[in-house]
Amino acid sequence: MRFELYTDEKDDRPVFITGNFNNWNPKDYTYQLTQADSCNYFIEIDNQILPEEVEYKFTKGGWENVELDKYGNITPNRKAKKSIEKTSDTVEKWRLNWGPFKKEFFPVAEVISEKFYIPQLDRYRKVWAVLPYDYHTSDKHYPVLYLQDAQNLFNEGSGFGNWEIDKKLSILAEYGRGDVIVIAIEHGSEDRIKEYIFDNDNIANGSEGKKYIRFITDTLKPFVDENYRTKKDRDNTGIGGSSLGALISIYSGFLYPEVYSKLLIFSPSLWVEPNNNFPMMNFRVPFKTKIYLYGGGQEGSKMVKRIHIFEEYLKRWEKKNLFDFEFRTNINPEGTHNEFYWSQEFPRAIEWLFYNNTENPVEVKPQQQSIKN
């Protein structure tokens, strides 16, 4: 079957086709289109590979670079019978690194407190609630994700850039997958390393991770559940972060599996625990825990290796019936240790952790548009 594509939005990115014939892999080089001229592309796919009804989309190398309609809206999956032997399609616009972002879907960021008291550490911290765009106009209850290092999650002006979770949540909301409250806890500046190290005085003299974990679990979560419309159960509660923030989130999930069922773990500082000596709570019935692991191939020689070793430990712990893990690992060969790559990964992690997404993009109804004269 021959697939032809016309697009006059020109850039240097290659074009791929993805669909129900390749598990919706959006960057599968087997299905990269050949460029005939500046606007026309084509690919021929063996009929034996294709199902009778083909569902497909075009991308420029990932869901963050997928096709859009002329208004910048998500397009429904394209469908064709393979018996027709040839299709000709047009793409008006393409996403670029998840953009464009629509203001009407932006979440509402509220400061819970400029100085939230941490009784376990006798200090104060700024804490944010990032609420779904329709939170104040609905009566829905929402799952919650607790994230470390709020300074680097949203708001322009961070010295290291930021994850742009507000923009990414707006994209997810467009897909009908933005119903998550994010509680963002600012790090303690000079106290950050001590608070994010669980129990390793070789690295942080007077490590305070045990107390910090208890703050989120015993103090902050009950406050959030009392003051916001949350789904309080473990199936709807996650925790995560990057680097040392990812490390302390691993500890949180392993020590309080009755509280957290979802761990978002980006570029974890596993060098702190080279032997993976994480304490585990041993419950009679193992808790099912979802872990999204991400690392970049350019983060130093050991990042990817340590992540794979950590995976092996997860499997061993499963065999001991300590946990029932479901984990997904994504390695970006080009990824370095910074917010830009964590930002790109954030929507994929949210979709998998909270919406059980396999790669198939959700079907969305085309939105009506008022055409401006």
Give the β-pairing of 40-44 and 34-35. antiparallel
User: What pLDDT is attached to residue 161?
Assistant: 61
Strand partners, 35: 41
Per-residue pLDDT of the chain (373 residues; tens, 9 = 90+): 999 999 998 888 999 999 999 989 899 999 999 999 999 999 999 999 999 999 999 999 988 899 999 998 888 899 999 999 999 999 999 999 888 898 999 999 999 999 999 999 999 999 999 999 999 999 999 999 999 998 888 875 444 568 899 999 999 998 888 899 999 999 988 888 899 998 766 666 678 989 999 999 999 999 999 999 999 999 999 999 999 999 999 999 999 999 999 999 999 999 988 888 888 887 778 889 999 999 999 998 799 999 999 999 999 888 887 788 999 999 999 999 999 999 999 999 999 999 876 555 555 444 433 222 2
Contacts of 162 (CB under 8 A, 6+ apart): 151, 152, 153, 154, 155, 156, 339, 343
Q: How far is it between the farthest Cα atoms of the chain? A: 70
Residue 321 corresponds to which tokens in the numbers above? Answer: 């019936």
One-letter amino acid for residue 62 of the chain: G
Strand partners, 88: 4
User: What pLDDT is attached to residue 356?
Assistant: 79
User: What pLDDT is attached to residue 347?
Assistant: 92
Q: Vertex 307, ends 313 and 359: CA angle to 5°?
A: 105
Contacts of 125 (CB under 8 A, 6+ apart): 115, 116, 118, 185, 186, 188
95: left (phi over 0), alpha (psi -120 to 50) or beta: beta
Burial of 74 (0-12, 13-18, 19+ CB in 10 A): buried
Rounded Cα gap, residues 9 and 91, in angstroms? 8
